[in-house]
Structure 1
């Protein structure tokens, strides 16, 4: 995203550079248009001057041609001139000499003007050459800048293509991540189902263990309680027997010891023989009782040993069961810890997936927005470039038009030089024909006088023609009247001939025919 932002910043900077270049180019184009307008105005003024000079030259040529034609016509009529006309021609020759001097002054002024025009034309040519050189340099600079901008646009397009490729790769990665996400979701669902099954099994096992423990503890406790109760009963019974035996022994020993004196030991010894069977019985009973006591002690010790052994066994069983319980609890705790760890890992993976998906969506949105912005910027740049290219093409067309105008201007300058040469020749001809012009003026005056005389004669002839026309009109009216009378008479003759069965005088018909013939002659 940072790289895209940096590229977008670069694109914006390039857009700003293009805008600055377009503004500079527009300002330069405005300056060039102003220069072109000034040059067009100067060219228009020069064209006006050239047109004025051309008009002057054409007028001079027309006058010279008129003078030459009049001069040619004048010698032809010299053979028929009167002495009065010869005197007039002599006076015209004198006036011609004076007119030649005036024409020389006018030609000198005209030469000065032409020199000024030539200087102005040279200055304009120099300025036009300088402007053309500057235009060419600026055109080269603009072409270089356009090539640079095209290279930049090519680089931008390459970058955009790379970005499109990267976006495609990102989209592929997103697709892969989505597929991995789906796989992880499926795996997580499987793990959850397995965990749920394991949790159910663990609960079931725990319930069974608790039940077995309860049953075993209840059984062992009952057995132990029974055994302890029996042992305690036996112990109390044995203790009671022991106490009875001890009490019996003490009671049996006390009367014997109390009755026997030290002094009577001898008597005992003496009387031992008499009382020996009873004593032997007593001793045997005592021995038997001692044996029984020893056996009871041994049995008691055995019972105590058995009790301790049972207690030890119970303790060992309890320790084993506690160890088993501890192991089971440890296993359960481990399973719980593993389940919690797996749950935490699953939640962490889900959070990571959510964060990754959110980051990918944000990155996708930012990439799409930046791509949209970059596309809009590129479209704007392309539009601006197209506008610049159109303006450049228009300016190239204008430059071509200017070049053609300059070519026309140079052609006009060459034509002007040619006209100047023609003007020099025309000056020579004008200096030569100025005299002829004076002669022509005199001839014109003579021709005017002759024209006046001819006009007077023409007026007389016109009057005569008008009178003749009036006579002719009158004759035509008479002829029309005669024709109508003739037609009337012919109709009468025809009618009369039809009435008298074709008996009409031929003389009358001949008279009418001769009259119609004369009438036709009179019309001619």
Structure 2
């Protein structure tokens, strides 16, 4: 405590002005003690608010860790799930701790004034909440962008699979049409073969009957050796023509058999190709279904993450508003106390200077 100012003993009656000055000095000393008590109370209040800010910081950190853990479980199973704090943010936290220690060491008066003059109009650092909000927004924005990019890639793969499926289906339809056309040609060739065989046999039968009838008629009417020779020659030419017809028929049958075998081989090859294409189509459909299910799951996870992001933004904004209100209130009270203290100090200095001047005049007399 500041001691009382020593008063010199003078002989005779003390003038009334000295008594008034003594009373003023006692009032100033009482107000100074009151200011000291207020300063100590304000220092205790500042310490309490600092503890509240530390608790809020710890709650914010636990909230962020829980959000990171939930994001880790919902989106990626192989991520390490831990966010690294940036060097700039670590430096800001160090500055905050240093400022808090300065406030604790300086209990009142000039110490608080030095803190205000050093740090400007906002002595308590609370920008870490804004930085945390910016980091949360950046984190959720990057996660949302990665999810949207993955969904876009999956949709593109799904379109590629759908295009492949359409191409395979188109090829199958073309193969079916070609098989139907070849089957129709085969049926037409079979019908033509039967008609040719029946027509040639019927024609040969008619020729043989007519030739036999001619031979019978000619043998009955022939009287000499030259007519018999002519008939034999004609019979030989007819037999030769009949053998040629048989040969043509056999060759046509061979060509027909070869064409039929070729069509059967082609049909078998097309059937195997169709089976392979059907398997490919089934595999593509299964992959498409898996991709669709994955896309739906990712979209749901994205909605959940966006909801959590909105809730986190709201919580951080509310906490930031409450902290700003408390800090503004404390700053206002601190400014009032500092103004009162400065005014009291100025009054004390004025009174001391007046008292010194009075003593000087008294000694001069």
- Report the TM-score when normalising by structure 2: 0.51
Say if 2:285 is the partner of 1:378: no
In the TM superposition, residue 411 of structure 1 has moved relative to its aligned partner by 3.1
Say if 2:41 is the partner of 1:103: yes
Cα distance in 2 between the residues matched to 1:204 and 1:372: 66
Say if 2:277 is the partner of 1:342: no
Which position in structure 2 is the counterpart of 1:409? 316
Match of 1:135 among 140, 147, 150: 140
Cα distance in 2 between the residues matched to 1:168 and 1:150: 27
In the TM superposition, residue 403 of structure 1 has moved relative to its aligned partner by 3.1
Say if 2:159 is the partner of 1:154: yes
In the TM superposition, residue 342 of structure 1 has moved relative to its aligned partner by 1.2
Match of 2:180 among 158, 162, 175: 175
In the TM superposition, residue 188 of structure 1 has moved relative to its aligned partner by 3.0
Where do 1:36-115 residues align within 5 Å?
Answer: 99-100=37-38, 102-107=40-45, 109-110=47-48
Of structures 1 and 2, the one with the larger relative CO (CA 8 A, separation 6+) is 1
In the TM superposition, residue 94 of structure 1 has moved relative to its aligned partner by 11
Match of 2:131 among 117, 126, 129: 126
Which position in structure 2 is the counterpart of 1:193? 198
In the TM superposition, residue 340 of structure 1 has moved relative to its aligned partner by 0.7
Gaps of at least 5 residues in structure 2 are: 1-29, 54-95, 101-122, 340-365
Say if 2:310 is the partner of 1:400: no
Cα distance in 2 between the residues matched to 1:201 and 1:360: 45
Change (3 A) 1:381 1:323: farther
Deviations 1:404-432 (CA, angstroms, capped at 9, x unpaired): 31233023212211121123345678999
Please, what is the CA RMSD of the aligned residues? Answer: 4.4
Number of residue pairs the alignment of both structures matches: 241
Cα distance in 1 between the residues matched to 2:125 and 2:204: 111
Change (3 A) 1:105 1:373: closer
Cα distance in 1 between the residues matched to 2:289 and 2:36: 82
Match of 1:361 among 236, 248, 271: 271
In the TM superposition, residue 344 of structure 1 has moved relative to its aligned partner by 0.7
Cα distance in 1 between the residues matched to 2:148 and 2:35: 67
Deviations 1:230-273 (CA, angstroms, capped at 9, x unpaired): xxxxxxxxxxxxxxxxxxxxxxxxxxxxxxxxxxxxxxxxxxxx
Cα distance in 2 between the residues matched to 1:395 and 1:127: 21
- Report the TM-score when normalising by structure 1: 0.37
Cα distance in 1 between the residues matched to 2:170 and 2:337: 85
Q: Which has the larger radius of gyration?
A: 1
Match of 1:391 among 298, 304, 314: 298
Change (3 A) 1:374 1:358: same
In the TM superposition, residue 93 of structure 1 has moved relative to its aligned partner by 9.9
Cα distance in 1 between the residues matched to 2:209 and 2:284: 63
Change (3 A) 1:154 1:104: closer
Change (3 A) 1:405 1:184: same
Change (3 A) 1:374 1:151: closer
Cα distance in 2 between the residues matched to 1:425 and 1:178: 99
Cα distance in 1 between the residues matched to 2:270 and 2:210: 45
Change (3 A) 1:377 1:108: closer
Cα distance in 1 between the residues matched to 2:291 and 2:197: 55
In the TM superposition, residue 193 of structure 1 has moved relative to its aligned partner by 3.1
Cα distance in 1 between the residues matched to 2:333 and 2:244: 128
Task: Decide which structure has greater helix share.
Answer: 1
Which position in structure 2 is the counterpart of 1:184? 189
Change (3 A) 1:419 1:193: farther
After superposing the two structures, state which structure 1 stretch, 177-186 or 92-101, moved more: 92-101
